[in-house]
Amino acid sequence: MSGKKTEKRTGKSMADNALGKSFNELRCLYDIANITGTAHLTLGERFSEIVRILPRGFQHSENTSVRITLNRDEYKTDNYQPTEQKISADIVIQGEKLGSVEIGCTKTPPVTGNGLFSKEERLLLDAVAERLGAITEHRQAEEALKESEEKFSKAFNASPNLVAINRLDDGKFLEVNDSFTRITGYTRKEAIGQNATDLNIWVDQDTHIKLVKTIKENKKVRNKEIRIRNKTGVIIVGLYSSESLIIGGEECCLHTITDITEQKQSQEILQTVSHGSPLGIYIMQDDRLQYTNPQFQKITGYSKKELAGRELLSLIAVEDSDVVRSSTVFTIQEKNPYPCEYRILTKTGRIKWVMQTVTPIHYEGRDAILGNLMDITERKYLERKITEYEELSKMKSNLLATVSHELRTPLATIKGYSTMILDYYTRLSSDEIKDYLASIDNSTDRLAKLVDNLLDTSRMEAGLLKLERSATDINLLIKKVATEANVRANHHQIITESTVGLPRVNIDSKRIRQVLDNLVDNAVKYSPQGTKVLISAKKAGREVLISINDQGAGIPAGELTSIFDRMYRIEQRLSPGRDGIGLGLYICRGLVEAHGGRIWAESTVGKGSTIQFALPLAGAGKGQ
């Protein structure tokens, strides 16, 4: 009996024991679950608590030590010591072992048939390790979410642009950022739960309605210029973009507005200044015009559209393009403005003078040139007129000096010889009287020629020169000229060379004779005595070419053209005996050109000169 009783008792106490153990395990798991559910605890705090609770789930709790390792962290009971009498389970997060839970025995317990730890205790350990893995994973996910929320919130609020989220159906704001408050003046509290109409934010209601429609249809709007009103009624110009998105199953909208009020104002100021400027203004990139103001368009005659993208150089007179280029390069290199003056070819083909200054600038994110130019055509015209006037007055005083000198010399001769003849008539031999009279005659001719030249010049310049044309035999004309010149210049030999069958030319023979006389007289005047002067005429193409060749000192190459200018004389030829005022060749050119011909000089210095002129044959030139 007693044996049975003992058996019964032992059986009961074993059952009690097992019940107690299960209760402890349950209790332990319950406590762990409680800790897991406590939101305010950090992961470390939770682990420390679990370490404290865990021994309770084991049979010999007082002899049980616990150590949890997770990554580099360690949580352990005070009685923990490294021991061989232990069981452990891994903490696995997303398939990776990140730590372990270790249960140790600090004292060797009485040996039971189950070994150091019972099967249930091992299962408890596995359950706890698994739970710890889950807590850690959950916690890490929570932390990652929190971090990303924080980041988002920071970015949301740090944005210099106004950002707001609202519901699409009623437009009520769900969230607004700090810039919303700064720009609109409404606090977050005032804005949330209200819509844009409640806050009277939109200046143009129609635009607002259109934009909402676009968002509903296209799910987004990009960079539309809009105007909003802040709490105090100030109008703000902004660039508006929005995007539709789903939040918590509801269709919402994320709006951003970049405040461009200042930018817009400075643009407007620039626009007003540039539009009202009397200067032509342009912006150029890669040598091409990107912007031109109305004055630039007015100067060039081209429209804004025609100028856009056009090369500036295509508007500049070819001769001036280097000046413009180098002034731009110097300005950029030396950081100092180098103004330059150049000619612009306008759309209508007119030439306009401008004075330009350039400045290197930044335009739409790239290097550019800002040029401003002033129309100085009028100034240039006046400058030219002044120069012409100055030249004219210089010429007038020269003319006066030369003419008075040229008048005085023959007048003095006439006066001197005529007085001599009158005073000493009876005492003079007839040869002497003849000589004196010849000198008087010569001087009178010289005076008459001078007066003729002056009159011809005036007539020519006033356009009053009239030609009396008739068909003329040039051969005959040059022969007459040579015969008479031989009488005048008896120290030179004047010869002619003509082509047989030279056609008649329709000319004013008196005037062409005047040209020939002048050229032959010059040939004589500017070549040494005893030399020959050759007058020749030939047909060349549709012209008759007449040349007067001498064996004189010649004409320097640099002066071959200038000798035909008004009152031009070669310096070293101004020696006594070579009288003249530099009008002869000028008149010759005028007369030849009036016939539709050309005149020019060829010469080898030291050997002689040839002055040639070409007259058009009938029907070949103007004036026929």
Give me the least distance between CB of 389 and ligand ADP, in Å please. 24
CB-wise, 563 or 617, nearer to ligand ADP?
Answer: 563
Single out the segment in contact with ligand ADP by CB under 6 A; choices: 98-106, 256-264, 478-486, 583-591: 583-591
371 binds ligand ADP (CB under 6 A): no
The burial of 459, by beta-carbon neighbours within 10 Å (0-12 exposed, 13-18 middle, 19 or more buried), is given as: middle
Contacts of 370 (CB under 8 A, 6+ apart): 281, 282, 283, 358, 359, 360, 361, 363
570 binds ligand ADP (CB under 6 A): yes
Q: Scanning the structure block, which residue is given the tokens 């000619």?
A: 343
613 binds ligand ADP (CB under 6 A): no
DSSP state of 170: T
Give me the least distance between CB of 614 and ligand ADP, in Å please. 18
Neighbours of 418 (CB within 10 A): 14
Where are the alpha helices (H) located in 463-571, listed in sequence order?
474-488, 509-525
Applying CB under 6 A, among 523, 544, 594, 615 the residue interacting with ligand ADP is: 523
Give me the least distance between CB of 559 and ligand ADP, in Å please. 8
**Spatial distance between the Cα atoms of 59 and 109, rounded to a whole number of angstroms:** 10
Instruction: Put the strands of the sheet holding 598-604 in their side by side order.
Output: 493-498, 532-540, 543-549, 608-616, 598-604
What residue is closest to ligand ADP based on CB?
Answer: 580
Give me the least distance between CB of 603 and ligand ADP, in Å please. 7
580 binds ligand ADP (CB under 6 A): yes
Applying CB under 6 A, among 59, 181, 328, 609 the residue interacting with ligand ADP is: 609
238 binds ligand ADP (CB under 6 A): no
Single out the segment in contact with ligand ADP by CB under 6 A; choices: 51-59, 155-163, 463-471, 569-577: 569-577
**Spatial distance between the Cα atoms of 12 and 337, rounded to a whole number of angstroms:** 111
Applying CB under 6 A, among 563, 592, 599, 617 the residue interacting with ligand ADP is: 563
Where are the alpha helices (H) located in 572-622, listed in sequence order?
584-594
Q: What are phi and psi of 552, to 5 degrees?
A: -85, -160
Beta bridge partners of 220: 243
Applying CB under 6 A, among 526, 537, 599, 617 the residue interacting with ligand ADP is: 526
300 binds ligand ADP (CB under 6 A): no
Neighbours of 115 (CB within 10 A): 10
**Spatial distance between the Cα atoms of 603 and 498, rounded to a whole number of angstroms:** 21
CB-wise, 443 or 609, nearer to ligand ADP?
Answer: 609
Determine the longest span between alpha carbons in the chain, in angstroms.
212
Give me the least distance between CB of 402 and ligand ADP, in Å please. 9
CB-wise, 121 or 550, nearer to ligand ADP?
Answer: 550
Q: Which amino acid is at 407?
A: L
Applying CB under 6 A, among 166, 509, 522, 551 the residue interacting with ligand ADP is: 522
The burial of 416, by beta-carbon neighbours within 10 Å (0-12 exposed, 13-18 middle, 19 or more buried), is given as: middle
Neighbours of 417 (CB within 10 A): 21
581 binds ligand ADP (CB under 6 A): yes
The two three-digit tokens of residue 402, written as one number: 């030369």
CB-wise, 436 or 586, nearer to ligand ADP?
Answer: 586
Q: What are phi and psi of 471, to 5 degrees?
A: -65, 125
Single out the segment in contact with ligand ADP by CB under 6 A; choices: 228-236, 311-319, 339-347, 582-590: 582-590
Applying CB under 6 A, among 186, 296, 302, 586 the residue interacting with ligand ADP is: 586
CB-wise, 473 or 579, nearer to ligand ADP?
Answer: 579
582 binds ligand ADP (CB under 6 A): yes
Applying CB under 6 A, among 93, 176, 555, 594 the residue interacting with ligand ADP is: 555
Single out the segment in contact with ligand ADP by CB under 6 A; choices: 320-328, 390-398, 423-431, 552-560: 552-560
| 420 backbone φψ class: left, alpha, beta (φ>0; ψ -120 to 50) | alpha
The two three-digit tokens of residue 351, written as one number: 């030439």
488 binds ligand ADP (CB under 6 A): no
Binding residues with ligand ADP: total (CB under 6 A): 20
Give me the least distance between CB of 510 and ligand ADP, in Å please. 19
Beta bridge partners of 577: none
Q: What are phi and psi of 252, to 5 degrees?
A: -125, 180
Single out the segment in contact with ligand ADP by CB under 6 A; choices: 241-249, 352-360, 418-426, 573-581: 573-581
Instruction: Put the strands of the sheet holding 73-76 in their side by side order.
Output: 73-76, 64-70, 96-105, 86-93
Give me the least distance between CB of 442 and ligand ADP, in Å please. 16
Neighbours of 71 (CB within 10 A): 10
Single out the segment in contact with ligand ADP by CB under 6 A; choices: 143-151, 222-230, 232-240, 522-530: 522-530
Neighbours of 541 (CB within 10 A): 10
Give me the least distance between CB of 580 and ligand ADP, in Å please. 2
- Applying CB under 6 A, which residues contact ligand ADP? 522-523, 526, 550, 552-553, 555, 563, 568-570, 573, 580-586, 609
